[in-house]
Amino acid sequence: MKRKEFYALGIMSGTSLDGLDFSLIRSDGLNYVKIIKNEYYKFSLKIREELSSLIKFSDLNKSISSYDIFKKTNIKFSNYVNKKIQFFFSNLNLNRQKPDLIGFHGNTIVHNPKKKISIQLGDPFFIAKKTNTPVVVNFRNRDINMSGQGAPLVPVYHKAIFAKSKKKIIVVNIGGISNYSFLDGKNKVLASDIGPGNTLIDRFCIEKFNKLFDRNGLLASKGKIDYNLVSRWVNKRIFHTKNPISFDIKNFKYSEFCQENKKKNEDLLRTLTFFSAKLISDLQYKIDAKIDYWIFTGGGTKNPILMGDIKDLLGEKNVFLSDEFGFDSGFIESCAFAFISIRTLKKLPSAFPKTTGCKKKNICGNLFKP
């Protein structure tokens, strides 16, 4: 008899380059999800700088996997991930909870669906061998090769954990890039990337304040919003492309948004924060339905200024964090890639025409055995 449920470890490193999210779940890859353990491992400054340098070195129009800088960083990153996996395993009851497989997203270096390129750091052969556990990677490439955007992939997980309510729900993830899933309360799911979530805010904080991010929105709270500037940004062509679409952080050039030299730094940061909120809130005019719940996840939920803007624009009554539904907002994506890896093992699709724009639904990821 075939097994219905599996233990899977999801590992996610997002565009914010802050660290690794680990999530161990038990799931059937369909409707049952039990979260066993979540852990966050912060990157050292050295690793963060190496990843950042590699991303800056890369080009949206080229594959960089043959370059020495990629190979060297890939080895270091894979060793680092393996050490964290071994540490994570050491705190489990491996007789009962050892993962059947690992869903390892890796760190995205280049993502350009038009050029059919999506490259993530991380060596699956090495990880599988060192952990003696099958590893699922390359979640985006098959979809891209089927004319999809390769993102967002998390909607299939959003549906599994939130669609049971039969309500009309928009789930918004605010990471480096913001993206959404629309659940119509029946069986329909729409999805797309939205725009820069935290990426411009974080970059501005690094460049102007020597801070990795705006902790608790304290820096932005000292500034004033330039609504004319927000209007100009919102009307950029890139934000009016037919959905679904996916973005790379390089799609949002720092010079186009963050070099308004006549403005105080606090004012420009406050304006960037409101801009991210505005792009998200404008979904209410693009989705032809009355939304019962707006559910938010991701690192951006920890910025009270950003979330305050969103609540003001949407109406506070309908805005929730995923935590209020029993799912930690900081680990939705790592749980999702654990869930998707189980679907890959069971040969179930995770990308669909209405979520990634692919020609037909497809199985995401390649399985590497020890």
DSSP, residue by residue, 105-120: EEEEEEEEGGGTEEEE
302 plus 165 within the same structural domain:
yes
Q: Does 253 map to a domain?
A: yes
Q: Are 161 and 52 part of one and the same domain?
A: no
pLDDT in tens, 140-151: 999 999 999 999
Residue 344 in domain:
no
Q: What is the mean pLDDT of residues 233-249?
A: 91
Is the domain of 90 the same as that of 162?
A: no
Residue carrying the six token digits 């390089």: 250
- Alpha-carbon gap, residue 182 to 250, rounded angstroms: 26
Q: Report residue 112 as tokens.
A: 């350009």
pLDDT attached to residue 92: 82
> How high is the pLDDT of residue 65?
59
Q: Are residues 164 and 309 in the same domain?
A: yes
| 273 shares its domain with 249 | yes
User: Is the residue at 147 inside a domain?
Assistant: no
Contact 290, 168 (CB under 8 A): yes
Measure the CA angle with vertex 222, ends 220 and 226; round to 5°. Answer: 70
pLDDT at 62 over 70: no
What is the arithmetic mean of pLDDT over 210-224? 95
Residue 306 lies in a domain: yes
For residue 305, give its domain range.
Answer: 155-325
**Token code pair at residue 127:** 């990880």
CA distance 296 to 181: 11
The pLDDT value recorded for residue 1 is 40
User: In terms of pLDDT, which residue wins out, 53 or 113?
Assistant: 113
The CA-to-CA distance between both ends of the chain, in Å, stands at: 24
CATH of the domain at 213: 3.30.420.40
Give burial (CB, 10 Å; 0-12/13-18/19+) of 193: buried
Domain assignment present for residue 356? The answer is: no
Which pTM was predicted? 0.93
Domain tally for the chain? 2
Q: Is the pLDDT of residue 51 over 90?
A: no
Q: What is the pLDDT of residues 194-216, one digit of tens each?
A: 999 999 999 999 999 999 899 99
Q: What per-residue confidence (pLDDT) applies to 67? A: 76
Which pLDDT band holds residue 260 (cuts at 50, 70, 90)? low
C-alpha span between 127 and 350 (Å, rounded): 23
In a domain, 176, yes or no: yes
Q: Looking up tokens 């979540």, which residue turns up?
A: 38
Residue pLDDT, tens place only, 80-102: 999 999 999 998 876 677 899 99
Query: Is 227 a residue whose pLDDT tops 70?
Result: yes
Backbone φ and ψ of 315, nearest 5°: 100, 120
Is-contact 101 340, C-beta < 8 A? no
Tell me, what's the pLDDT at 172? Answer: 98
> How many angstroms separate the CA atoms of 168 and 185, rounded?
5
97: tokens are: 């909870």
